[in-house]
Amino acid sequence: MLDRIKTYAPIVFSLIAAAVFLDSLRYKFTNAVETQVIFGRLDAWAASFGAGGLFGQTGLFSQYVIGSAELVASTLFLLGLVPALRRLQTLAALIAVAVMSGAVSFHLFTPLGIDPNNDGGGLFAMAVTVWLGSLALLIFRRETLFRILGGIRDAILPRGARGPSSHVTGTQAKAV
C-alpha cells in the first residue's frame, strides 16, 4: 500500500498543481478584473510601506512575473511525469512552494484576506492545496532535492569554503 502511495501521490500532486497554475494564467495574463483587484490591493498595501509599484503591472512581483513562474512550474510538473525527467518535479515543487508561500502569506497577513474576490475563499484554498501538495512532493523527492541543493552549493562555493564536513563520506562519518 505504501509503495502505491509513493508511486501515485507525486503524480497526483503534480497534476493538481499544474492544473491550478495553468487555470490561473488566463486571469493573470489577460489582466482580468479579479487579478486587478488582488494585485491592486497588494500594491496599495505595499505603497503604505513606501514600496508602491512592487505589485504593479511592471513591478517585481507583478501578475506577469508570478504567472511566468507558475507557467514554468507547470511545465516542469508535467515534464516530470516522464520517468526519465522525474527530477524536474522537484524543481517545479521548489518554485511552487516559493510562489505559494507568498500567496498564502499575502492572503493571511495583508489586507487582501482569504476572500478578496468573494469566491468563498476558493482562491486561498487552491493556494493552500498547491502549497501542501508541493511540500509533500519535496518530501517524496527529498533525495533529489538534496542532490540539487548540493549541486547548487558546489557551483557557488569553492571546495575549500565548504568546510570539513562536506568532504566526509558516510563511511568516514561513522568512523568519526
Span 49-98, pLDDT tens digits: 999 999 999 999 999 999 999 999 999 999 999 999 999 999 999 999 99
pLDDT band at residue 164, thresholds of 50, 70 and 90? low
Residue 174 lies in a domain: no
Q: Is the pLDDT of residue 23 over 90?
A: yes
Q: What is the domain count for the chain?
A: 1
Range of the domain at 45: 2-154
Q: How far is CA 169 from the centre of its chain?
A: 32
Is position 170 within any domain?
no
| Segment 112-127 mean pLDDT | 92
**pLDDT in the model for residue 170:** 47
Q: How many Å apart are CA 20 and CA 23, to the nearest integer?
A: 5
CA 71, CA 73: separation in Å to the nearest integer? Answer: 5
